[in-house]
Amino acid sequence: MESNTLIIDEDKFIPQLSIDCVIFGFYGEQLKVLLPKVKHLNLWALPGGYVLKEEGIEEAAQRILEERTGLTNIYLEQFYVFGKATRSTAETLKLVLLANDFGIQENRWVLERFVSIGYYALVDFSKVVTKIGIYDETCEWYDIHQLPNLAFDHADITQKALETLRFMLDNKLIGLNLLPETFTMKELQILYETILDKPLRRDNFQRKILSMDILERVEKKFTGAAHKAPYLYKFIK
């Protein structure tokens, strides 16, 4: 991230290195991304920040997420480093500074080229209570298919995060972090369908997931709807 860093002590951080986080949540049969809005501009940026000189990058990502969104100790996965020379951010950053009545100090590294480490986070939508960072106007969820105007190359970063999530779907227990404690098979299937962006067969999906022995069937869920009540499941620890 390169915005919202208007008042920082540059000596505390590793110069020209940043972290950007793509936070995925799942709600209303849609995959969502949590995005803070830049104050005074029609512009959104991934929650991001810098790495303290004595701080591990994973800890930096956790700290940044807590400062910007209030989320603590969440599932994080490094996915790519964005470091093209043409990854120019100074122009947009200057816009941000001007819009917020900050002067532009040309010699600071904040205005130089950045290398940014991308992390994606998976969170249980129902447990998230977002906090607005001191430089943010809002911090809200957006459908992955209807993202707002993203700053810098943050649309590319989000896209790459989504591709990585898809690629990892069979190797990591994605659902464990994106769903509440208990859920129905249908909810899990819709989550997979949403991430993969393609329909899956109900019977085959159930057979495959159950054969993995990662789910425990708990009680039934009576919704009051006029049909058979589905079982609830939870992940086996």
User: Does 192 contact DNA by CB under 7 A?
Assistant: no
> How far is the CA of 73 from the CAs of 5, 7, 25, 123, 162, in angstroms?
23, 26, 15, 10, 21
For residues 38 and 138, the answer to whether their CB atoms sit within 8 Å is no
| Per-residue binder mask for a second copy (CB under 8 A), 96-115, x = binder | ----------------xx-x
User: Does 198 contact DNA by CB under 7 A?
Assistant: no
- Give the count of residues interacting with DNA (CB under 7 A): 20
User: Does 166 contact DNA by CB under 7 A?
Assistant: no
Residue placing its CB nearer to DNA in the complex, 30 or 206: 206
* Collapsed DSSP state (helix, strand, coil) of residue 152: coil
User: Does 184 contact DNA by CB under 7 A?
Assistant: yes
Nearest to 44 by CA among 144, 155, 134: 155
User: Does 229 contact DNA by CB under 7 A?
Assistant: yes
Cα separation, 74 vs 153, whole angstroms? 24
Which residues touch 24 (CB under 8 Å, ≥6 apart)? 31, 32, 33, 120, 121, 122, 123, 144, 161, 165, 178
Residue placing its CB nearer to DNA in the complex, 127 or 217: 217
Task: State the residues that interact with a second copy by CB under 8 A.
Answer: 14-17, 51, 53-60, 78, 80-81, 83-87, 112-113, 115, 117
Please give the residue ranges that form the binding site for DNA (CB under 7 A).
184-186, 201-204, 206-208, 220, 222, 224-231
